[in-house]
Amino acid sequence: MDAPIYYSRAEYIETDTGNKVSRRATIAGPQNIILGGKTIIASGAIIRGDLRRTGPGHAVVISLGRYCLIGEGCVMRPPYKTYRGNFNYYPMKIGDHVHIGNGTIVEAATIGNHVEIGKNCIIGKFTIIKDCAKIADNTVIPPNTVVPALALFAGSPGQLVEDLPESTQEMVEAHTKGFYARFQPAAAER
């Protein structure tokens, strides 16, 4: 296994289900955010759970699956549009084993399982990213794009570069699990 990635214990809050959330992340409307477990939210990330769908009752705004990583300085905000003359924000759903690189802006509607998104990307409003897709660093995905399964997208605007091998699912799963295992508190503070 690779060398562990140490973090300071004072900075991260660990929940019962193994989520690790930095105190330096900005999380608005936490009651509208669901974390699946073993998900890491790095410092400087902004997650907007306050931009919820209007209407009565409880509304989930952002749901993240298991073994996700939200990199440093990421912005996750739900997409908005008017539908039949009413303005609304719409929920964002992210599957399991999704890694999002540092400084990326995500306004997607759906992100599938085993998706890797690079650094400094911009994922436009209502983008749908299917399972096992990969987005290279610095990619700009325009609004309403559908990224098919097992595709590598890169460039500005983001375009299909190549198809990924069928082993991607296992590779990404091993990588995300490995990352979570390596992400541990600094030994000096134990």
Partner 1 sequence: MPPIRDKFTIHSKAVVCQDVELKGDITIGAGTIVHPKATIFAIAGPIVIGAGCIIEEGVILVNRRVPSRLRLAFPHSSSSRKEVMRIGDDNIFEIGCRVECPSIGNFNTVSARARVHHTVRLSSYCVIGAACLVVPTEDEIVDEYTVIYGPAAERRIWSERGKIQEADLRKKHAEYLKEMLPKFNRLRRGDGT
d(CA 145, CA 110): 11
Residue indicated by tokens 């911009």: 122
d(CA 129, CA 109): 8
CB of 52 or CB of 93, closer to partner 1: 52
CB 152 within 8 A of CB 160: yes
Confirm or reject binding of residue 83 to partner 1 (CB under 8 A).
no
CB 81 within 8 A of CB 88: yes
Q: Cα–Cα–Cα angle for 152, 153, 155, nearest 5°?
A: 140
Stretch that binds partner 1, among 5-13, 79-87, 129-137, 172-180 (CB under 8 A): 79-87
Confirm or reject binding of residue 161 to partner 1 (CB under 8 A).
no
Among 11, 43, 72, 81, binds partner 1 (CB under 8 A): 81
Confirm or reject binding of residue 97 to partner 1 (CB under 8 A).
no
Confirm or reject binding of residue 51 to partner 1 (CB under 8 A).
yes
Confirm or reject binding of residue 105 to partner 1 (CB under 8 A).
yes
d(CA 152, CA 82): 31
Stretch that binds partner 1, among 6-14, 44-52, 110-118, 164-172 (CB under 8 A): 44-52
CB of 25 or CB of 164, closer to partner 1: 25
